[in-house]
Amino acid sequence: MLDDVRILAWGERSAVKLCATLLERAGAQICFADAGPVAGIAHDVVIVSSDMSSTKEKSVIAELKAAGNTIVCDITATGPQGSRAGGSWSDAQVQAISGLMDTTGFAHGEPVRIGVPFTDISAALYASAAIAAAIRVRRMRGIVQTIDVTLFGCAASALTTFLPAAFVRDTVGRVGNRHPACAPWNAYRTSDGWILICTSTEEQWRRIRSVARVPQLDDPRFATLRERVRHVDVLDPLIETWTTTLTTAECTRLCETIGVAAGPIVSVAGLSGEPNFRLRHGEAAERIDARGIDGDTYRQVSVFRTSRLTDRAVHAPLTANAERVFPTDAGPLAGVKVIEIGQYTTAPLVGKHLAALGARVIKIEPPDGEVARSWAPGRDGTSYFFALNNTDKETIALDLKQDRDREYLRRLLADADVLVENLRPGALAKLGFGRQSLGEINPRLIYCSISGFGIESAYPTRPAFDTVIQAMGGLMDLTRSHGMPVKLGASGADILGGQAALLAILAILAEPSRQAGNFVEISMQDVAAWGALYSSGHPEPQGLAVPCADGHIWIESDGLRDAASLAAHAKQLRCGSLTRACAIAALAEAGIRAVPVVRVPELMEDGDFLADVLSVARDASGAFWPVLKMPYRLSRTPARIRAVPGMPEVRHAIDDEGEERSGRGAIRLSGLAKLDL
C-alpha cells in the first residue's frame, strides 16, 4: 500500500494526528513533530494545519509548498479564501457555521453538538484519501502537488440528506432519531429500554406491519412512504404499542428475522461487551476492560481490513490502463474502471469520489432503479439526494437473479480495477460473485465490501442502516440532548464508513506495480467505534447552544470550562432578547467566543458555502443540478464534478448471440428483483 512513504505530521488540529495514524495503518512511516521539518531529513508528505500555526510556521509551510518537492496537505477550518479564511475555528464552531449542528437534536429542542469531533474525523479521512491519490500520481506520473482540505467543506458534504429541501426553499428541521425521508425510523421504547428500528422500502414496511399486528397500521395514511413520513407523529406511537410488549433483545432478534434493521443503544464504555465489537476487536475490548478508555485506545481499532482476494497465488500481468499516458492535468484515477453495486449513501459516496478523481464508474442498479431515486424532493424522476451522491457515474439496470444479467456483470468485472458494494454480507456470493469467483474472473480486482457489522460478524444475517450503527457504535451515547441519546442529523456512520473505504481503495491503487487482487472489508460499526473511542480519549472543551431572538448561537470560552458558567454569562447578557449578531458581539466584549448556529436553508445565502462548497452539474438533457464540490483540493490533478446521471440504462447491451453491442436510450434488462441490502 503506502510502504516506504515517509510522512511528517506537524500541526495542532486533531485532524492532523488522526490523518497520520490512518496513513500509518495503510503502511506509511509516520513522524510527529512540534517544530516542523528538520534539515537533512526528507519526507514525502507533510501534513499541517496552517490556520493554527504561528507566523514563522506559516512562512515555513509556504516555502514547502513553493519548493514543489514534497506533497503538502494543509487541513484548515475554512481554507485560504472567503470571509472566514484564516480563522482557527474549533470543530464545534465548524459544526455550527456549516449547518451540521442545526440538523442534530430533537424537533422541539435546541441544536446539539455532535459528541465526537466529526469535522476533524471527516477531514482526517478525506485528507488521507487525497494524500493516497497524490502519492499515486507522484509514483506513476512524477507530479508533486499540494492538497487543501477544509473542515467546513467536510461538514457541508455530510448534509446530503438535508440540502435537497433547501434547494427547493423548503425546511427540514431537526428530526431527532427520525429520518426526514423514511418512516418508520426512530428510537422506540421497549419493555426494558430502547431500540432503533429503520425501514426504507415498502417490503420492510409490510414485514413490520405483519409482525406488529397493530390494526391501526392498516390506515390509508400509512399506505405509501411519502404518506408515512407525512403522518409520522401518528405512526410512531402505534409502532411503540408493539415494541413496548417486547424486551430490546427480543425486538432486535425479531427484526433480524424479518430483515429489518434494528439495534440497541450501546455506550462507549459498553463497547467492550458488545458481541460484534468484542469478536472483531478482542484486544481492544480486553484493554478497555482492564484499563478503561485512554488517548490511545482508538488506535487498537482499524477502520479497514485488507487481505488477498483469494488464497491462490496469482500474478497477473499489468493491464493496459497501467501503461497508458494521460495528460498532466488528468485526474489521479484516469484509466481506472470501477463497478459500484449499492444504494443510499455508503458505496455511492465511494463511487462518487472515485469518479471525481477521474475513474470510470459504472453503477449497477436494480431494474426499477435505486430506491433513493424516488425520495422527495427531486425532478424528472430523480431525487436531489440521489443526484448529490451519484455524480459522474454511468448507470445500468441489471437483474442479478437472471443468468444473462450476471453474465453481463462478469464481462464488466473482467477488466475492472475496483468493485465496491454495500449489499448484505453474502448477498453477492449467493449470486455467484464470492471472493473466489471474483478472483477467477479478474485476478487483479480490488473488491471492497462495506456492511454494518463486517464479514466476520456476530450478526451475519442482520441488516443495518446508519442510525442503527450510530447506536451500536457509541456515537449516540456521546451525542445527547438533555441526557437523551440522539443520532447525528447527518448520516454519520454511513459517511465515515464510505470515507474509510475510499481511503483503503486509494491506498491500494497507489501501488502501480500491484499484481494480486485485494479484498477490503469495511465494518461501519468499526469506524463508528473508532471515532467514539477517539473522542472519549480526547475530550473536547464544553460549549453551549444559546437561544437568541432569531435562532441559536454556539458559545465557547477557554476560561469557562463548564456549560453552567457559559449559560450564566449568556443569561446575564440577555442573549435571548438579542439577535444572533448582537449576542455574538456582546459575548466577544466579555471574552467569550460565539458563532451563529446556521440553519441549513441559510447556507443558500452564505457566501463561503456558495463559493467553496456548492457547484452545478448537467444531466443528459443539459439541465443544471446543484451538486457539491469535493472538500479536498489537489492543486495539479483536481477532482472534478461534471454530470448528474439520468435513469439507469444499458449502454452496451448483449444481444441474443452473446455479442456486446452499443445501445442508446433507457433500455432496462428484464426482471423486477431487488438487490439484497
Contact 80, 51 (CB under 8 A): no
CA 622 centroid distance within chain = 29
What pLDDT sits at residue 561?
Answer: 65
| Residue 179: pLDDT band with limits 50, 70, 90 | confident
Q: Calculate mean pLDDT across residues 269-296.
A: 97
Contact 103, 114 (CB under 8 A): no
Contact 584, 538 (CB under 8 A): no
Q: Tell me whether residue 494 is one of the annotated catalytic residues.
A: yes
> What does the domain layout of the chain look like in residue ranges?
6-157, 304-458+489-527+648-662, 544-601
Give CA separation, 620 vs 358, 378, 380, 647, 661, in Å.
19, 16, 12, 10, 21
Task: For the chain, give the number of residues.
Answer: 677
CA 320 centroid distance within chain = 32
- Residue 546, classed as helix, strand or coil, is strand
Q: Calculate mean pLDDT across residues 443-471.
A: 94
CA 165 centroid distance within chain = 20
Sequence-ordered alpha helix ranges (H) in 26-157: 55-67, 91-97, 118-141, 151-157
CA atoms in the 13 A half-sphere facing the CB of 207: 16
Q: Calculate mean pLDDT across residues 126-150.
A: 97
Please state the φ and ψ torsions of residue 249, each to the nearest 5 degrees.
-65, -40
Instruction: Report the mean per-residue pLDDT for the chain.
Output: 91
Give the other-Cβ count within 10 Å of 263's Cβ: 30
Contact 124, 22 (CB under 8 A): yes
Q: Give the whole-angstrom CA distance, residue 549 versus residue 556.
A: 19
Closest to 173 measured CA to CA, from 551, 590, 555: 551
| Residue 564: pLDDT band with limits 50, 70, 90 | confident
pLDDT digits (tens, 9 = 90+) for 61-79: 999 999 999 999 999 999 8
Strand partners, 46: 8, 72
- Residue 20, classed as helix, strand or coil, is helix
Q: Give the whole-angstrom CA distance, residue 369 versus residue 620.
A: 17
DSSP state of 461: T
What pLDDT sits at residue 673?
Answer: 32
Is the Cα dihedral 167, 173, 176, 180 positive or negative?
negative
pLDDT digits (tens, 9 = 90+) for 317-362: 544 444 567 787 799 999 999 999 999 999 999 999 999 999 999 9
Contact 277, 479 (CB under 8 A): no
| Residue 557: pLDDT band with limits 50, 70, 90 | confident
* pLDDT of 378 higher than 50: yes
CA atoms in the 13 A half-sphere facing the CB of 332: 33
| Residue 512: pLDDT band with limits 50, 70, 90 | confident
Contact 415, 442 (CB under 8 A): yes
Q: Give the whole-angstrom CA distance, residue 377 versus residue 181.
A: 9
* pLDDT of 217 higher than 70: yes
Burial label for 219, CB within 10 Å (0-12, 13-18, 19+), is: middle
What pLDDT sits at residue 167?
Answer: 96
| Residue 81: pLDDT band with limits 50, 70, 90 | confident
Q: Which helix (H) or strand (E) holds 609?
A: helix 607-612
Q: Name the active-site residue from 392, 477, 494, 612.
A: 494
Closest to 146 measured CA to CA, from 157, 136, 131: 131
CA atoms in the 13 A half-sphere facing the CB of 614: 18
Q: Give the whole-angstrom CA distance, residue 370 versus residue 379.
A: 15
Which tops the pLDDT comparison, 456 or 668? 456
What pLDDT sits at residue 319?
Answer: 47
pLDDT digits (tens, 9 = 90+) for 572-586: 999 999 999 999 999
Which tops the pLDDT comparison, 133 or 652? 133
What pLDDT sits at residue 85?
Answer: 82
Integer Rg of the chain from CA: 24
Give CA separation, 465 vs 262, 638, 677, in Å.
8, 32, 10
| Residue 562: pLDDT band with limits 50, 70, 90 | confident
Q: Name the pTM for this structure.
A: 0.93
Give the other-Cβ count within 10 Å of 311's Cβ: 10
* pLDDT of 461 higher than 90: no
- Cell 472543551 belongs to 541
Q: Which of 210-219, 348-357, 399-408, 513-522 has the lowest mean pLDDT?
A: 513-522
Burial label for 561, CB within 10 Å (0-12, 13-18, 19+), is: exposed
Q: Calculate mean pLDDT across residues 398-412.
A: 95
Separate counts of helices (H) and strands (E) for the chain: 25, 27
Q: Which residues contact 356 (CB under 8 A, 6 or more apart)?
A: 331, 391, 392, 630, 639, 640, 641
Contact 126, 546 (CB under 8 A): no
C-alpha cell at 199: 425501514
Whether the upstream peptide bond of residue 184 has omega within 30° of 0, thus cis, is: yes
* pLDDT of 456 higher than 90: yes
CATH number 3.40.50.10540 given to 6-157: yes
What pLDDT sits at residue 230?
Answer: 93
- Pairing mode, strands 337-341 and 45-48: unpaired
Strand partners, 229: none
Contact 183, 260 (CB under 8 A): no
Fold matches, 6-157 and 304-458+489-527+648-662: yes
What pLDDT sits at residue 384?
Answer: 96
- Residue 396, classed as helix, strand or coil, is strand
Burial label for 336, CB within 10 Å (0-12, 13-18, 19+), is: buried
Contact 492, 420 (CB under 8 A): no
pLDDT digits (tens, 9 = 90+) for 19-51: 999 999 999 999 999 888 877 788 999 999 999
Q: Which of 47-61, 80-94, 239-253 has the lowest mean pLDDT?
A: 80-94
What's the CATH class of domain 304-458+489-527+648-662? alpha beta
Q: Which helix (H) or strand (E) holds 280?
A: helix 275-280
* pLDDT of 588 higher than 90: yes
Q: Calculate mean pLDDT across residues 508-518.
A: 89
CA atoms in the 13 A half-sphere facing the CB of 147: 30
- Pairing mode, strands 518-523 and 446-451: parallel
Q: Calculate mean pLDDT across residues 444-456.
A: 96
Contact 624, 641 (CB under 8 A): no
- Cell 439520468 belongs to 646
Q: Calculate mean pLDDT across residues 247-275.
A: 95
| Residue 664: pLDDT band with limits 50, 70, 90 | very low
User: For the chain, what percent of residues have pLDDT higher than 90?
Assistant: 82
C-alpha cell at 39: 534539515
Please report, in angstroms and rounded to a whole number, the separation of the first and last CA atoms in the chain.
30
Burial 601-624 (b: 16+ CB within 10 A, else e): bebeebebbeebbbbebebeeeee
